Amino acid sequence: MQKGAAAKAAAKLMTDFKCMKCLRPLTYDEVALHRKMVNRGAREFMCITCLAEYFKVSEDALRERIDYFKKTGCTLFMM
């Protein structure tokens, strides 16, 4: 699992998943957000842009929510 400090410092951790709507590669945050807001057992996920559209909110609102979940220690966001 150790990928070195440089890789860990990368702003976004990418996953092997792609957005089910626009096929953009997804970050861990996006996968976790989808699990948290849509379905905990999901196997397909949406990127933050498509999630924002889905929930009719702004991407910024979703980013704030990610920060909030991280601050409150949600286990889905623990990497």
Q: Strand, helix or coil at 44?
A: coil
**Angstrom distance (rounded) from CA 65 to CA 48:** 11
Q: Strand, helix or coil at 74?
A: coil
Tokens 């990610």 belong to: 66
In the complex, minimum distance from the CB of residue 57 to Zn ion, in angstroms, rounded to a whole number:
15
Region binding Zn ion by CB under 5 A among candidate stretches 3-11, 33-41, 46-54, 70-78? 46-54
For residues 47 and 62, which CB has a smaller minimum distance to Zn ion in the complex? 47
Strands (E), the chain: 14-18, 25-27
In the complex, minimum distance from the CB of residue 18 to Zn ion, in angstroms, rounded to a whole number:
8
Residue 48 touching Zn ion (CB under 5 A): no
Size of the site for Zn ion (CB under 5 A): 5
Residue window 18-37: x/- pattern of binding to Zn ion, with contact defined by CB under 5 A? -x-xx---------------
**Angstrom distance (rounded) from CA 48 to CA 34:** 8
